[in-house]
Every structure is written in structure tokens, then in C-alpha cells.
Amino acid sequence: KSVYIITIVMAEEYLYGITLQGANASEVWDPEHKNDDADGGNQHFGVDQKLIIKMALLGPEAKPGELNVLQVEAMGLKGLIKIPIALLERGKTEQIILDLSFPDPPVTFSLVKGSGPLHIVGHNLLGTHMEEFDDLEEEMDEENMEDEDEEKDTEVEEDEDDEPKKKNAKMTAAAKTKNQANKNKKK
């Protein structure tokens, strides 16, 4: 059987930050779409990107007592997910530490309640992937052959160890017989 192994090497990391301000403000993270050049090709073809959000905080201009709700819309395992990730209020909870990872663009951040300003901070990881082709059957055959060779070597070593013992055992028996014969002659 043949198997493809894809290894993703994260090579570069950049600061990511956006500010949402005003009613129903939203921002989309979609590096695949933004990197399309005039010819329609993607400048970062073969580059994987991942967005990691670490913090959401209110700006100093946020209205005291106003609830600000940050919502994210992104792809999950079972499809599109739209869910609030932070509820911030000036004078109560002005910032929150997050640890959210978004491997698949697009990701939409929206201020669904309140007027902000609400800052979102994190980092964007850029990585390239390398495809490796492994022939699993060939590897398995090689491993089995190596194991068999080791077993044969072990058997040969055991046989070599057994031979001297047998010879010694025979010599000892012969020597004993001679000793008995010599004793009998003396009597």
C-alpha cells in the first residue's frame, strides 16, 4: 500500500490585530482571497495559514456600562459555526484572554452588540507543506527482512554456543570412562 504523508512546517509568524467599531462592525480573515493577484493566481500557493486569537479588549473610548458582544463565524467539523466568544463591558470586564485557533479561512469577527471599539489580537502563522511519498509495502518488507536476518543471526549464535557444550559434554563423559577404566586396572 502507498501512503502520502503531508508535513506542515510552520515557518513564519506575524502579529494579527483588528478593531471593530460601530454597530454591526465586522472583519473577515481570508488570506486565500486577499492574496489573489491580478491574474487570478494565489501568491501564497502551497502556503498554509492559521490564525490564532489570543485576546479581545475594549478600547479606552468604549462607553461605560455598554455590553459589547464579539461573535465569530468559522468552519467547524460539522459545518459553519456562528457563536459569541467574548462579552465585554467597560468598568466590569474590559479584556479577555482567548486561545482560539482557526486553520480554515474565512473567519468572520463581528461586533453584534455594542459600539466598541473592540480590539482583537493574535498571530497569523504561515507555513509550507511538504509532501512525502512513502511506499508502505516496501518499508514493511524491508523491516520484515531485517527482523528475519536478526533472528537467523541469533539462531546461528545459539547453535555455535551449543556445539562446544556438546563436545565438552562428550569429552567429559569419555574422560570419566577413561578414569573409571584406569581405576579398575589399578585394582
pLDDT score of 41 = 43
pLDDT score of 33 = 73
Q: For residues 94 and 18, is the Cβ–Cβ distance under 8 A?
A: no
Domain shared by 9 and 80, yes or no: yes
pLDDT along the chain (187 residues), means of 10: 62 92 91 59 62 97 96 94 97 96 95 96 82 56 66 57 50 53 53
**CATH number for position 121:** 2.60.120.340
State how many domains the chain has: 2
Domain shared by 119 and 144, yes or no: no
Domain shared by 53 and 71, yes or no: yes
Domain boundary residue among 133, 148, 164? 133
> Which string of DSSP letters, residue by residue, matches 92-154?
TB-EEEEEEEE-SS-EEEEEEES---EEEEEEEEEEEEEEEEEEHHHHHHHHHHHHHHHHHHH
Domain shared by 44 and 83, yes or no: yes
pLDDT score of 40 = 46
Domain shared by 16 and 52, yes or no: yes
Domain shared by 96 and 50, yes or no: yes
pLDDT score of 85 = 98
pLDDT score of 176 = 54
Give the integer Cα–Cα distance in Å for 125 and 1.
33
pLDDT score of 43 = 47
Structural domain boundaries, residue 118: 2-133
Domain shared by 157 and 104, yes or no: no
pLDDT score of 42 = 42
Domain shared by 12 and 66, yes or no: yes
Domain shared by 92 and 9, yes or no: yes
Of 20, 27, 28, residue with least CA distance to 114: 20
pLDDT score of 144 = 65
Domain shared by 107 and 181, yes or no: no
Domain shared by 116 and 156, yes or no: no
Give the integer Cα–Cα distance in Å for 88 and 62.
10
Give the integer Cα–Cα distance in Å for 83 and 135.
43
First to last CA, the chain: 79
Domain shared by 27 and 57, yes or no: yes
Q: For residues 108 and 73, is the Cβ–Cβ distance under 8 A?
A: yes
